[in-house]
Structures are given as C-alpha cells and as structure tokens.
Amino acid sequence: MSERKVLNKYYPPDFDPSKIPRMKLAKNRQYTVRLMAPFNMRCATCGEYIYKGKKFNARKEDVENEDYLGIRIYRFYIKCTRCLQEISFKTDPKNTDYEIEAGATRNFMALKLAEEQAKREEEEQKEEEANNPMKLLEYRTEQSRQEIEQLENLEELKELNRRQQAVDYEGMLRQYQPETVEERKAREEKEDNDFIKSVKFNNCSKKVVAEEIIEDVIDEDEPPSKCSRIESLTQKTSDKSDSIKKHSWNRSVGGLITKPALANLVRSKKPESAETSKFTTEALSKSNNAAESNTKSTKDKPASGLSLLAGYSSSDSSDS
C-alpha cells in the first residue's frame, strides 16, 4: 500500500530550478498562526476577560522601522471571544515581555509595575548621588551603619552556636552508627585472642582407660549362692527338656539308638556341689532306663520299614 503523504519527490535529470516562476508577494504580508494569550487582558469594548493561555488563530506581521539590537519585533492581531473586537499587541525583546497596543487593557500587572518603580527609584538615587555630595555622604554612612548591625547580629548567632556546641553530635552519631564488616572481624579476632591468653591450662598427663574384664569365679568349698542356684536349676530344666525331646524323636522314628552302650559315651561334668551332682546322676539314670525300654520294645515288635532303614543306617555307621 502506497503512502498517502510522499516525503521524497522525484526530480528528473533535466530539472532546472531557475526556470520555476517566482510568486510576487507583498513585502510585509500577514501570516495566520496559532498562539496563546501571553497575559490576562480585558476587552475595551464589551469588558470580556481573556485569561492568559487562551488559544487564538492570530495574524502575524513585522513591525516596520522598529527593532531592538537587530532583533525583529512582531505584531499580532486577535479577536475578542464575545464581541469580535480586534485586539493587537506586539513583542518587547528589551524587557522579554509583550506590550498591548489597542483593543484591550492588561490586568494583574502589579509585579511589573513594582519592578518598574524600583528601577526608577534606583536611577533617581544614582543621579542624586552624582549631583549632591552631601547626599552621597549620607548614603555611605547609612550603609556603614547597616553593615555594623549585620556584623553584630552575626556575632550573636555565632555565640548561640558555640553554646549549643557542647553536645558532641558527631560522637553520638558515631556511637549509634553500625560498624563495618572489617571492623567487626578485627574486633572478634581480638576478643578471641584475649580469651585464649586469659585461659590457664594445667600440665596434666594423658590418662589411658583400659577395659577391665570381671569374671565370676566360683569357689568349690563355698556353698552356692542364690544366683548360682538359679543358674543350675535353669540348666537342669533345659537338659530335662532336651532329653524329653530326644526320647519322643526316638519313639517316632523307630529307635535309632539300638545299642545301650552309647549311653556310656556321655561324659558328665564334675559336680560343682552336692545338689547339682545328685540331680545330674538322677537325669543320667532316667535317660539310661528310657533307652533300655526303647530297645526292648523294638526287639518285641516286628521290624517295619523305618526300623530297617534305621538299622541299615546304624550298621553303615558302625562299619565305618
């Protein structure tokens, strides 16, 4: 899509700008410009107030035979918003302001009038000092008196500041100001070193703790204590239960032990006391009687498959 407004136009190679006809315009012609009212004004015809900043479509022209240090002065024409009366004003480059010419009066010029009055009085004073030496002396004495008063006031303020300087504001700020990371590290290291120096270590030798093994030695001459009795009874009960289990196993299998001579292979421990030796002898006699009864029962009963198997296994073990 082509642009609606073309910025770069085409010029043919044989273009000659000198052949373009020039328009004959007036030397001081007017241009239409858009501007805002530079100050508050009031229409001289209908009394309408026009505030500063109101926008107008104005006509602009150069002021003939007037300039300021080579700067052009322009004149503007606007119309009242109520009665359409023409109002004209022009630029004032000397005072960097605008000057009303006709059709309205300027409002709220108090600041400008005060500045002009102060400037006028200053010029009159300079002329009077140049022409009257007595007035010049009076002005100088007045200025010196004012300077002395200012110096006295300054000394009083300095004295008040000296009284208030008793408080060390910098020290207070330094006290509550947080320390830096480097200062904190240095302080901690110094505290650690001081603490290490303050601690006093005693010359103590190294102590080696050896493990001590305590064994219970039972004397045969002494009567058994209560704990030893309990241990012997638990051992007896465990032996009795083992013998009962063994007896039941032999009965179920068919008498694996056929020779009563195997009972003689069991070696009894030395009796620790009279009671324990009596109990062990009774247990051994009972086990021997049970074995003899098992053998008799196996001889009386006919041989079964399990008994033959047991006899075969026992014969193999005896041959080996």
Which of the 8 DSSP states describes residue 262? G
Query: Does 227 appear as a known binding residue?
Result: no
Q: Is 83 annotated as a binding residue?
A: yes
Q: 188 vs 182, 183, 263, CA distance in Å? A: 10, 9, 85
> What single DSSP character describes residue 273?
S
Question: Are the C-beta atoms of residues 135 and 129 closer than 8 Å to each other?
Answer: yes
* Strand 55-68 with 31-36, pairing: antiparallel
Asked whether residue 204 is marked as a ligand-binding residue, the answer is no
Sheet holding 41-43, edge to edge: 49-50, 41-43, 104-106
Instruction: Give which of 255, 263, 258, 254 is closest to 286, Cα–Cα.
Output: 263
Candidates 257, 253, 245, 246; CA nearest to 304 is 253
Distance CA(111)–CA(40), nearest Å, equals 13
- Which among 267, 254, 248, 252 is positioned nearest to 314, based on CA atoms? 254
- How far apart CA 266 and CA 284 sit, in angstroms, is 9
List the one residue out of 318, 297, 313 whose CA is nearest residue 252: 297
Q: Report the binding-site residues.
A: 43, 46, 80, 83
Q: Report the binding-site residues for Zn(2+).
A: 43, 46, 80, 83
